[in-house]
Structure 1
Amino acid sequence: MFRHTKLLQFEAKPEKPDPLYARKLQELIGGAFGEMTVTMQYLFQGWNCRMEGKYKDLIMDTATEEIGHVEMLATMVARLLEGAPATATAEAAKDPTMAAILGGMDVQQAIVGGGGALPADSNGTPWNGKYIVASGNLLADFRANVAAEAQGRLQTARLYNMTDDPGVKAMLQFNLARDTVHQKQWLAAIEELKADGLESDIAPNALFDEENQEHNNTVWRLSDGTDGAKGGWSFGGEGIDYLQNPDPLGGPGTAPKPDPALFGTYAPIQDAVGTVKGKAKAAKRKASGKSKN
């Protein structure tokens, strides 16, 4: 059961409207690493978690918080759109600054959203459920969560430097802080999974005896340059060796003969009367007065 509290987790009041920035904020709502993504990612991870207890509670706590972040951002977008474009008349648009603002705003926010936020990114591309990771393996999922929070914090930091509005910056300062602690919590949870004996360094912790033993400890040098071998991973400390001159282990990657019904290009057209090429050549010989013999 979810219950909505009619108060924002943190205030979302801009000093003044800014429809151009409202469009930019859409990335933090419906982008690949936006709040809708982490909301649904954590919800489905929690619902797919087979163990009641601290891990499931952590996931669901964070998922529910992220719903509130979507609400905060949607509220901020609506307030940034206040008065635009309904009161931004053609006369106002004659001002170069106003024209630039109108030209850069997302008209979908007005036409479709009625002056509000959309479940879409900053280009108006609808949010996609394929963005989320919810595998049922907590180690793999928590690592994906760290990456999602890192990308989200990176985009928030970039947007923070794209505004001078103190109200917007205050909300983004809060969001930056929450992205920081969420990265910390997932990193800590990964270590706790190991300490509890639930997972090891590699996900999943199975089939180690079945995998190819010759190729589970080498980094292949496949790009120009020699600096790759200078990394700490190449000194054997992590059980990894740096293979300087790897050779291909397979044969040519030739696809099989295509099904004739698919008309894939495969072999030369036979030079005989009765084929397209043969008929063309026969017609040419006849026109020149030459015979095949």
Structure 2
Amino acid sequence: MFSYSKPLFYPVQVEARDPVFAQILLEHYGGKDSEYSAATQYLNHRSNMSNRYLRDLLGMIAAEEMGHMEMIAVAINKLGGPPLSFVDSQGIPWNICYVDQTLDPIGMLQADVEAEVRARILYNHHFTMTNDPWLKKMIHFLGCREDVHKLLFKKAQILIRKGAPPEQFNELIIDYKMSLKNN
């Protein structure tokens, strides 16, 4: 299901070293609302989702979140940050409690929407904390991708609530793939 591709989703450049901002970016690497938390949650939800199209969607978005995590790692390294480990900016280790354990499909998707909202808020906050134009572009890109994921999860909830046939969920896969081409 998963494959590794060397190119990043978006090029990562920095204007100058900034170890302080690198430390802040650890929130996106190993914090509560990190890319790692999102990817882990979506993979878990994927394993518990009966609709094959939603399983595929969750798998694709989880893989993308891992790609975002890689971008954050590259940025932290270029900024001269600390060695990467699964901790937040305060050094608090990542915890499995950050991953939603809901088993109801609508509940899982709602938890996924909420994860995307929290990640977007965090990106918006960190966007204001740097003057580096390259990092601002990267953070903007990542925030926009969170919005795409949120909208897809909301559409999936609507389809479930209206009792749509499983094949209608394939539109979500098409929408996801089109969103990648529009970046």
TM-score over 0.5 for the alignment? yes
Tell me which stretches of 4 or more aligned residues in structure 1 moved more than 6 Å: none
Offset of 1:50 from its aligned partner? 3.0
What TM-score does the superposition give when structure 2 sets the normalisation length?
0.86
2:23 aligned residue: 23
**Residues 125-168 of structure 1: CA deviation (Å, up to 9, x unaligned):** 11111100142311001111111111110010000000000111
1:192 aligned residue: 159
Q: Distance in 2 between matches of 1:76 and 1:20?
A: 12
Q: Show structure 1 runs of 5+ residues with no match.
A: 83-108, 199-293
2:70 aligned residue: 71
What TM-score does the superposition give when structure 1 sets the normalisation length?
0.54
2:45 aligned residue: 45
* DSSP 3-state at the match of 2:16: coil
Please show how residues 70-149 of structure 1 align to structure 2 within 5 Å. Answer: 70-81=69-80, 109=82, 113=83, 117-149=84-116
Aligned alpha-carbon RMSD (Å): 1.5
Q: Distance in 1 between matches of 2:132 and 2:89?
A: 19
Partners of 1:30 and 1:37 within 8 A in 2 = yes
Work out the percentage of aligned pairs sharing the same amino acid.
31
Q: Show structure 2 runs of 5+ residues with no match.
A: 166-183
**Residues 81-102 of structure 1: CA deviation (Å, up to 9, x unaligned):** 07xxxxxxxxxxxxxxxxxxxx
Q: In structure 1, what residue type is equivalent to 2:137? A: A
Partners of 1:22 and 1:77 within 8 A in 2 = yes
1:55 aligned residue: 54
* DSSP 3-state at the match of 1:157: helix
Q: Distance in 2 between matches of 1:10 and 1:151?
A: 21
Q: In structure 1, what residue type is equivalent to 2:94? A: W
Partners of 1:48 and 1:134 within 8 A in 2 = no
Higher Cα Rg, which structure: 1
Q: Distance in 1 between matches of 2:50 and 2:109?
A: 15
Offset of 1:48 from its aligned partner? 2.1
